């Protein structure tokens, strides 16, 4: 999705949330999720972790979610 469309959707989601509506969004854009979501779930065939957007800054959770070993670039 191009950047202008992403911005339009983020604005729409913000307005809907401000009106008290619940939203479920899927994305691979973790930076955008950290900025716009109040709750996140990391998935890898199942829920690996869930919580506030600060979860996206936790290296251990990110490694688990993406199936990586602690060695750089090693697949689990």
Summarize pLDDT for 16-70 with one digit per residue, the tens: 989 999 999 898 888 888 988 899 999 988 999 999 999 988 888 888 888 765 4
Does residue 20 fall inside a structural domain? no
Domain range enclosing 40: 25-76
Does residue 68 fall inside a structural domain? yes
Does residue 70 fall inside a structural domain? yes
- On the CB side of 9, CA atoms within 13 Å amount to 14
- Stretch (H or E) spanning 43: strand 40-43
Q: How far apart are the first and last CA of the chain?
A: 30
Domain count, the chain: 1
Is the per-residue pLDDT at 72 higher than 60? no
**pTM listed for this prediction:** 0.70
Does residue 29 fall inside a structural domain? yes
Q: What pLDDT is attached to residue 59?
A: 86
9 in Cβ contact with 25 (< 8 Å) = no
């Amino acid at each position: 999705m191009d950047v202008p469309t992403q911005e339009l959707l983020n604005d729409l989601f913000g307005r809907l949330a401000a009106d008290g509506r619940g939203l479920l969004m899927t994305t691979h854009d973790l930076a955008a999720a950290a900025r716009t979501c109040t709750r996140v779930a990391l998935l890898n065939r199942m829920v690996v972790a869930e919580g506030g957007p600060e979860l996206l800054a936790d290296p251990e959770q990110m490694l688990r979610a993406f199936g990586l070993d602690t060695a750089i670039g090693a697949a689990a």
